[in-house]
């Protein structure tokens, strides 16, 4: 039915409605592979499990799933291993603490993990899985990476857990694999701030789903057009000091919004082809200098309250 999206419920009998959007993101090609919706009370781990299932049902090749420290779970570990997928988890200090405390900063170690009744208490409601855990030995790789120093010159350490073979993936490789996950944050920022994902065109749930799917669909098209442009018209590896050239995603959004609808609705084939060719040429030609390895936070010219995140429900 009709959804009340007001920040307060003073003018309406119903309370504000909100939800959880979860996506499976391809960090190499910058595209969304799967989208799930649910109540805010839904578990991120539950949606991660659904994403893994969707991937295994639609893709043949094994993937490397990178998951942040809100996701570590033996259910997900077990599912990924049984699905013959690879993974890199960023761990909180409390996860498998009895084993991770044995690892020193900078150390990379393979450990055989076993469970007893006490360590499986959280799975008492699922007797079958609990018994499975107690009868299974998991061979997992734990890596404590030193990623820098804090203001007191103390090491900043991140703990990763994976099943990637040591002879194929070094510690530096694991660090780079997890670093690729930052592209997820970039993609969400573009969806919310550049494509105005949360500025819905209606209140009915069907319209909200439609807006979200349309934005993600358009995002994927832009990403694929940039990949195509990179493949067809390669950027010369120009470097000026700390800067490199990349194609401008924000310009591509504006180009697509202006011309793509015209190409879709045009009944004239010549007009359609012309609009598509202009889109491709403009995306290929819009370049921007990007600073490599930015070490300092960019100074904002506006206060956080005046940014578009204020529209977040």
Residue 118 sits in the same domain as residue 218: no
Residue 176 sits in the same domain as residue 212: no
**Residue length, the chain?**
313
Residue 84 sits in the same domain as residue 169: yes
Domain coverage including residue 107:
43-180
Residue 47 sits in the same domain as residue 173: yes
| CB-facing half-sphere around the CA of 62: CA atoms within 13 A | 11
Report yes or no on 2 lying in a domain. no
Residue 241 sits in the same domain as residue 286: yes
Q: Measured in whole angstroms, how far is the alpha carbon of residue 8 from the centre of its chain?
A: 30
Residue 298 DSSP class: P
Residue 132 sits in the same domain as residue 87: yes
Say what the pLDDT of residue 240 is: 57
Report yes or no on 5 lying in a domain. no
Residue 139 sits in the same domain as residue 102: yes
Report the number of distinct structural domains present in the chain: 2
Residue 214 sits in the same domain as residue 120: no
Q: How far apart, in whole angstroms, are the C-alpha atoms of residue 28 and residue 25?
A: 9
Report yes or no on 199 lying in a domain. no
Both tokens of 199, joined, read 């500025």
Report yes or no on 248 lying in a domain. yes
Report yes or no on 191 lying in a domain. no
Residue 154 sits in the same domain as residue 260: no
Residue 62 sits in the same domain as residue 154: yes
Q: How far apart, in whole angstroms, are the C-alpha atoms of residue 133 and residue 5?
A: 43
Q: Which long-range contacts (CB under 8 A, 24 or more apart) does 175-180 make?
A: 175/145, 175/147, 177/64, 177/66, 177/88, 178/66, 178/88, 178/90, 180/27, 180/28, 180/66
Whole-number Cα distances in Å, 208 to 19, 110, 163, 260: 11, 46, 39, 21
Contact in structure between 200 and 5 (CB atoms under 8 Å): yes
Cα three-residue angle 92-95-99, rounded to 5 degrees: 120
| Residue from 7, 106, 120 nearest 74 by CA | 120
Report yes or no on 35 lying in a domain. no
Provide the phi-psi class of 153: left if phi over 0, else alpha when psi is between -120 and 50, else beta. Answer: left
Residue 221 sits in the same domain as residue 266: yes
Other Cβ atoms within 10 Å of 120 Cβ, number:
17
| CB-facing half-sphere around the CA of 22: CA atoms within 13 A | 21
Edge-to-edge, what's the strand order for the sheet holding 64-67?
Answer: 64-67, 86-90, 155-162, 138-149, 108-113
pLDDT per residue rounded down to tens, the chain (313 residues): 444 545 555 555 556 677 888 999 999 999 999 999 888 888 899 999 999 999 999 998 999 999 998 899 999 999 999 999 999 999 998 899 889 988 888 889 999 999 999 989 989 999 999 999 999 999 999 999 888 777 777 878 889 999 999 999 999 899 899 888 888 988 999 898 888 888 888 888 888 899 999 999 999 998 888 888 777 666 655 555 566 667 778 788 888 877 787 777 777 777 777 777 877 777 777 766 666 665 555 555 554 444 444 444 4
Residue 31's H or E segment, with its range, is strand 31-38
Q: How far apart, in whole angstroms, are the C-alpha atoms of residue 240 and residue 285?
A: 19
Q: How far apart, in whole angstroms, are the C-alpha atoms of residue 218 and residue 256?
A: 8
Residue 242 sits in the same domain as residue 135: no
Both tokens of 178, joined, read 């997890």
Report yes or no on 162 lying in a domain. yes
Say whether 100 sits in a helix, a strand or coil.
helix
Report yes or no on 8 lying in a domain. no
Both tokens of 15, joined, read 């309370």
Say what the pLDDT of residue 161 is: 95
pTM: 0.80
Q: Which of 163, 180, 197 is the last residue of a domain?
A: 180
| Residue from 93, 42, 49 nearest 67 by CA | 49
| CB-facing half-sphere around the CA of 61: CA atoms within 13 A | 3
**Most distant CA pair in the chain: distance in Å?**
71
Say what the pLDDT of residue 2 is: 47
């Amino acid at each position: 039915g009709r959804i009340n999206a007001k920040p307060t419920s003073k003018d309406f009998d119903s309370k504000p409605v909100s939800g959880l959007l979860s996506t499976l993101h391809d960090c190499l090609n910058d595209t969304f592979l799967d989208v799930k919706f649910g109540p805010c009370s839904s578990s991120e781990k539950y949606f991660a499990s659904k994403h893994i299932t969707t991937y295994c049902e639609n893709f043949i090749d094994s993937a490397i799933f990178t998951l942040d420290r809100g996701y570590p779970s033996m259910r997900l570990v077990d599912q990924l291993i049984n699905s013959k997928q690879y993974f890199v988890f960023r761990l909180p200090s409390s996860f498998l603490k009895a084993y991770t405390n044995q690892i020193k900063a900078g150390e990379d170690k393979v450990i055989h993990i076993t469970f007893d009744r006490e360590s499986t208490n959280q799975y008492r409601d699922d007797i079958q899985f609990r018994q499975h855990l107690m009868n299974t030995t998991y061979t997992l790789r734990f890596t404590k990476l030193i990623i820098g120093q804090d203001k007191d010159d103390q090491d900043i350490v991140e703990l990763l857990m994976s099943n990637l073979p040591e002879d194929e993936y070094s510690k530096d490789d694991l660090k780079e694999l997890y670093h690729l996950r930052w592209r997820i944050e970039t993609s969400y920022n573009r969806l919310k701030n550049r494509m105005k994902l949360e500025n819905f065109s209606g209140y009915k749930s069907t319209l909200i789903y439609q807006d979200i799917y349309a934005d993600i669909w358009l995002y994927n098209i832009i990403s694929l057009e940039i990949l195509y442009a990179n493949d067809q018209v390669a950027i010369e590896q120009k470097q000026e000091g700390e800067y490199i050239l990349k194609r401008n995603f924000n310009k591509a959004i504006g180009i697509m919004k202006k011309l793509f609808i015209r190409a879709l609705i045009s009944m004239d084939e010549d007009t359609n082809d012309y609009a598509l060719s202009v889109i491709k040429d403009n995306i290929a030609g819009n370049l921007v200098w990007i600073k490599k390895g930015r070490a300092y936070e960019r100074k904002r010219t506006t206060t956080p309250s005046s940014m578009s995140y204020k529209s977040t429900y």
